[in-house]
Amino acid sequence: MSQILHGLAVQTEILSRLKSRIQKLKRPPGLAVILVGQDPASEIYVRTKIKACADLGLLSEKITPPETATTEDLVTIIEELNARPDIDGILVQMPLPKHMDTRRALEAVAAGKDVDGFHPTNVGYLVAGRPAPRSCTPAGIIELLKFYKIPIEGKHAVVLGRSDIVGKPMALMLLQESATVTICHSRTANLKEICRQADILVAAIGRPGFVTADYIKPGATVIDVGINRVTDAGEAANFGRAEEFANKGRTVVGDVHPLDMARVAGAYTPVPGGVGPLTIAMLMANTVELAERHQASA
């Protein structure tokens, strides 16, 4: 029977380790979250992050520029936060409105306050194996694998997806843990065959149920990063979510077909409840780590 890798247990352990570190600080770590406009999904994510701060005793501040704000307006806000000594981490909630320059906004965040690990300087530190904030979702996945004692060293890991947020940093982190890593994407030839070689398969492509049984090596560990809303009854039934769809009129599935994953994988993360809680936990961990650095150098 497949082992289900629940993220909440890992989140609880990560957050419990942070509490003693927070108590040693001279002041609470400070996190500023910038939410531009009123995207409903983003509002939910931001509320979750603010609540996590409150539960841990972190200072949090939410800044909400209007949808009509310009890139210059956003950069001004970021520069003001860069200069504030009580703010250790700055998070710009994605996605930004289409008229904004996302790259410019992310690079405006000081590398030493880049709690998401997106700044080119911190990406360079990741490549070089130097300490720096790490992209939260892949860092959380490494914590999950270690928590459940799933071997990484010497294993063949396949990362399906090449985004700057998950795919690329995930590959680098697995490489640092001495896995043999293959990155696949939409243009990869023989995609199924390559994925089926994986001892650890990380799916992060944003397509509901794309990875089916013939992509999965029997007994492999499957990490499903996707969160895809399904609003079609037939599609929901295909994923084994007909009852939930009947009750709610929608359901959420990952990038891996949930029935196939449970049947073929040796261990897997459910959606929801797998990777999601880890992203929040690592955001808190990055904020605390930055606060420790700032106070040590003050």
Annotated catalytic sites, by residue?
Answer: 49, 93, 116
Q: Which stretches of the chain are DSSP H helices?
A: 7-23, 40-56, 71-82, 102-108, 120-128, 136-147, 167-176, 191-195, 233-238, 242-248, 258-264, 276-297
Locate 214 and state its tokens. 């013939």
Backbone angles phi, psi at 69, to 5 degrees: -60, 150
Alpha carbons 79 and 98: distance in angstroms, whole number? 21
Q: How buried is 159 (Cβ within 10 angstroms: 0-12 exposed, 13-18 middle, 19+ buried)?
A: buried
Minimal CA–CA distance to 268: which of 216, 193, 230? Answer: 216
Q: How buried is 238 (Cβ within 10 angstroms: 0-12 exposed, 13-18 middle, 19+ buried)?
A: middle
Backbone angles phi, psi at 131, to 5 degrees: -65, 135
